[in-house]
Amino acid sequence: MNLPAPDYILAIQPYEPGKPCEELEREYGISDSVKLASNENPLGPSPMAAAAVSRCLKSLHRYPDATGYRLTRQLAAKLGVAPANIVLGNGSDDLIGMLARVFLQPGDEVLIPKPSFLMYDITVRAAGAVPVYSPLRQLVIDLEDLAKRLSPKTRMVFITNPHNPTGSVVTRAALDSFLAAMPAGVVVVLDEAYVEFVQDPHSPDGRAYLDENRLLVALRTFSKAYGLAGLRIGYGIMPQAVAELIHRIRQPFNTNTLAQAAACAALADSEHLAQTLKAVHDGLAYLQEGLRRMHVHYFPTEANFFLIDLERDAAAVNQKLLRQGVIVRPMGGYGYPHFLRVNVGLPSENERFLKALAVAL
């Protein structure tokens, strides 16, 4: 069929999500699989969020609150910013898309560390803009290299902190110098999808950069530490002028009633968040100790996932894990054919992974 789409759309490769358990179980005729591939919260959603969703069910015939009034105010109070500095999104993916629609034109350049979360590349290409890649240095975003790639066409820069897929962080000092060197008119997107898991005191906090004169947007999500990936809700912290631009093009009902209610409840459930952080940090220590005993190399992380270097073809090992019902993320597509990315699961899931890996190796 002759598709009248621009070449830059026809060239896009679709995003490959982590394999769902049901799909693996269908394919291999197995049951009881575990998924440690999408950096989800192993504990599930907050019970308070689940109850809030139930309470909303009777009002599903109504449109959502297009302004997200309650959630925006609750977030603003918690984050110490003004409600006008917050924009809600249908996941942070939605915010990445809206930022691209507001700021990018065909031919603009966007600096992206490589490898990175693949939606940056897809979203930039969908706008007809040109991704300009900066290789990581020892699995950390190389801010000096990123800055060297600035050109008069640069319109946007993505920095993920902690980075996906490595779990590494940049220091506040390095980010400060990078931002000081940014020309006016370049939008810095600081993606903090995993910020709640960070323990390194030198890692920056995007809120600190909120300044009405600085083109910086910090993105956060309820999909990871808050366990609401299935509901799709995230937010951006940004200067009011940027928020106002996004509101011009935002679909009025981009975040749904259930997601808004669940996010409000999850935000209030500090105990669930504390339990999540404990489960992740204890689980990381357990997994890494197990790998050390198996003499398998892994990299440090500030997120709820980490990279493992198998020093051999990880795709083959991944196949053996899948046959045992364990789903992780092989990193061949990210340029690391020997690596697996694994997120922390429940203690029983972590144990399953280590045992399956021992068999696979």
Binding site for ligand PLP (CB under 6 A): 39, 91-93, 117, 160, 164, 191, 193, 221, 223, 229, 234
CA distance 235 to 246: 12
Nearer to ligand PLP, 280 or 296 (CB): 280
Count how many residues are written for the chain. 361
* Distance, C-alpha 228 to centroid of its chain: 13
* Helix (H), strand (E), coil (C) string for 26-68: HHHCCCCCEECCCCCCCCCCCHHHHHHHHHHHHHCCCCCCCCC
**Residue 296 CB coordination number (10 Å):** 18
CB of 85 to ligand PLP, least distance (A): 18
Name the residue nearer to ligand PLP (CB basis): 134 or 290. 134
Least spacing, CB of residue 232 vs ligand PLP, in Å: 7
Do the Cβ atoms of 161 and 132 come closer than 8 Å? no
Shorter beta-carbon distance to ligand PLP: residue 120 or 353:
120
Shortest Å, Cβ 120 to ligand PLP: 8
The smaller minimum CB distance to ligand PLP, of residues 30 and 44, is found at 44
**Cross-strand bridge partners of residue 189:** 158, 217
Name which of 190 and 296 has its Cβ closer to ligand PLP. 190
Task: Reduce the DSSP state of residue 253 to 3 states and report it.
Answer: coil
Task: Please state the closest distance from residue 303 (CB atom) to ligand PLP, in A.
Answer: 9
Find the residue with minimal CB distance to ligand PLP.
Answer: 91
- Minimum distance from residue 2 beta carbon to ligand PLP (Å): 33
Confirm if 95 and 236 have CB atoms less than 8 A apart: yes
Give rounded-to-5 percent helix, strand, coil for the chain. Answer: 45, 15, 40
Tell the smallest beta-carbon distance from residue 92 to ligand PLP (Å).
4
Minimal distance, residue 5 CB to ligand PLP, in Å? 24
Q: Looking at beta carbons only, is 164 or 301 nearer to ligand PLP? A: 164
Residue 162: asked if its preceding bond is cis (omega within 30°), the reply is yes
State the DSSP H helix or E strand holding residue 327, giving kind and residue range, or none if neither: strand 326-327
Residue closer to ligand PLP, measured from CB, 86 or 296 = 86
Question: In whole angstroms, how far apart are CA 203 and each of 5, 180, 353?
Answer: 42, 17, 29
